[in-house]
């Protein structure tokens, strides 16, 4: 049955200038902007600060990475807590509150003097960013698009990877001239301004709340006036339907393995190349290169995943990642590091889109928040082990190479698990309804 919950219908914000354009694109571009700005809470930008903080304060790689680990676990648990709330009320308040917390956390990191300060401030900031901004904007966009979901999610995801590519270059002069503390102050101000305001002004829950249909379909009032039932474009699987299925758990296993390995590379790739004799400035350009390539390849990946099931796209990404790990182990010059960045960036573009599409494309948009909230703690608990394991290996043996080889194995496992995670079959009544 089609669901409408907002009475009377809400109107587009008066601040949105493109009134003749489907309002779903306002959600997409708001997601792009806030995703661009909240990137200090993600691995690639975090990795830029590992060596400067360690050199200044004398902390080990493991001690520093604990902050990222705590934030990843906290984000997974918080995603579970707010999943059903996102389904019911949307992501508007969640994004705005997350912006306030992220800004405050970055200011706290700038003033820290003890490891536990870092664990607290960065851990809380990352947790809120992952759940409130990462999951929140993904669920919001999935609600506004079905047929065009791949390209819509790809644009939002390009904001995240674009931010990871450009933000290190923007902050690098501050880092080199003034230091890492002042860099976090600048990042905190950016978060307060460019997350809170766009989130409050433009994010809305679902197209039905405005009398619209996903993808810019016919106005709900026109459909109702013609005596037609508004179409449900995909089967609305509920959490209780899917959590006992083989498909869900294979998908979770594949996602967890892929996330653990990718997170670890994101966090440690800059420090890895610095360990191999590449200067800090050039190592940061490698980060900017692979995240930039990820950003520009996301739209093609999104269009591809509108034509093939997301599991096929994810399998292609895992194969690319396996090749990139081989390159990462042997890359000890700037030229070979660039080659790694190109291959890893292409895989990251597709994997970022696939992660955001996985739940709604498998199970539909209606209960995407609650299903994502159920699987996120599992994926997060397993995924957070990757960066910590890589840091431990490096502290023990002096190189990341054994960890990177192990991550190639994780990507291979994920490839097989995705291949086995076939989409669920529709219930007989749903099949009969669509045939009629």
The answer on pLDDT for 27 being more than 90 is yes
Confidence (pLDDT) at 385? 86
Residue linked to tokens 């300060």: 117
**Measuring CA to CA, how many Å separate 21 from each of 215, 216, 302?**
11, 9, 21
Confidence (pLDDT) at 302? 94
- The CA angle 9-10-15, to the nearest 5 degrees, is 155
The answer on pLDDT for 315 being more than 90 is yes
For 108-144, write each residue's pLDDT tens digit: 999 999 999 999 999 999 999 988 998 899 889 988 9
Q: Tokens standing for 283?
A: 């190592």
Whole-angstrom distance, CA of residue 430 vs CA of residue 426:
6
Instruction: End-to-end CA distance of the chain: give it in Å, rounded.
Output: 15
Confidence (pLDDT) at 233? 59
The answer on pLDDT for 153 being more than 70 is yes
Residue-averaged pLDDT of the chain: 87
- Once rounded to an integer, what is the mean pLDDT over residues 64-85? 85
Is residue 4 helix, strand or coil? coil
For 101-112, write each residue's pLDDT tens digit: 999 999 999 999
The answer on pLDDT for 244 being more than 70 is yes
For 253-305, write each residue's pLDDT tens digit: 999 999 999 989 988 888 899 999 998 888 888 888 988 899 899 999 999 99
Residues in the chain: 436
DSSP 313-379: HHHHHHHHHHHHHHHHHH--SHHHHHHHHHHHHHHHHHHHHHHHHHHHHHH-STTHHHHHHHHHHHH
For 177-207, write each residue's pLDDT tens digit: 999 999 999 999 999 999 999 999 999 988 8
61-89 and 385-397 helices, crossing angle to 10°: 170
Confidence (pLDDT) at 5? 43
pTM: 0.75
Rg (CA), the chain: 21
Q: Which domains does the chain have, with CATH numbers?
A: 24-218+232-435 (1.20.1250.20)
DSSP 110-178: HT--SHHHHHHHHHHHHHHIIIIIIIHHHHHHHHH-STTHHHHHHHHHHHHHHHHHHHHHHHHHHHHHT
């Amino acid at each position: 049955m089609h669901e409408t919950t907002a009475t009377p219908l809400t109107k587009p914000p008066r601040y949105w200038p493109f009134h003749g354009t489907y309002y779903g694109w306002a959600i997409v571009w708001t997601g792009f902007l806030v995703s661009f700005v909240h990137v200090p809470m993600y691995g690639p930008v975090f990795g830029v600060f590992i060596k400067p903080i360690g050199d200044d304060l004398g902390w080990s790689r493991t001690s520093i990475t604990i902050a990222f680990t705590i934030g990843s676990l906290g984000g997974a648990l918080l995603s579970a807590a707010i999943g059903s709330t996102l389904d019911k009320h949307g992501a508007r308040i969640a994004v705005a509150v997350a912006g306030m917390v992220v800004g405050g956390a970055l200011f706290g990191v700038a003033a820290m003097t003890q490891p536990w300060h870092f664990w607290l401030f960065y851990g809380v900031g990352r947790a809120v960013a992952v759940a409130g901004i990462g999951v929140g904007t993904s669920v919001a966009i999935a609600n506004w698009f079905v047929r065009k979901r791949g390209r819509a999610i790809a644009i939002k995801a390009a904001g995240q990877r674009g931010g990871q590519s450009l933000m290190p270059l923007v902050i690098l002069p501050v880092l080199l001239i003034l230091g890492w503390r002042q860099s976090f102050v600048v990042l905190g101000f950016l978060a307060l301004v460019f997350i809170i305001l766009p989130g409050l002004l433009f994010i809305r829950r679902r197209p039905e709340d405005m009398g619209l249909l996903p993808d810019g379909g016919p106005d709900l009032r026109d459909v109702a006036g013609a005596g037609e039932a508004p179409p449900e474009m995909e089967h609305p699987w509920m959490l209780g339907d899917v959590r006992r299925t083989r498909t869900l758990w294979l998908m979770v296993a594949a996602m967890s393995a892929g996330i653990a390995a990718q997170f670890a590379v994101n966090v440690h790739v800059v420090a890895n190349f610095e360990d191999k004799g590449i200067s800090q400035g050039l190592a940061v350009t490698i980060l900017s290169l692979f995240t930039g390539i990820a950003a520009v390849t996301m739209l093609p990946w999104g269009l591809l995943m509108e034509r093939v099931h997301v599991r096929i796209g994810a399998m292609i990404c895992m194969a690319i990642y396996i090749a990139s790990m081989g390159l990462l182990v042997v890359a000890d010059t700037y030229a070979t590091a660039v080659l790694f960045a190109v291959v890893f960036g292409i895989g990251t573009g597709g994997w970022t889109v696939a992660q955001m599409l996985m739940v709604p494309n498998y199970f539909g948009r209606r209960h995407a928040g609650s299903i994502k909230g159920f699987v996120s703690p599992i994926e997060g608990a397993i995924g957070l082990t990757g960066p910590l394991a890589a840091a431990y290996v490096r502290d023990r043996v002096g190189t990341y190479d054994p960890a990177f080889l192990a991550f190639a194995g994780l990507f291979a496992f994920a490839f097989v698990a995705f291949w086995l995670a076939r989409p669920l079959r529709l219930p007989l009544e749903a099949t009969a309804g669509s045939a009629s």
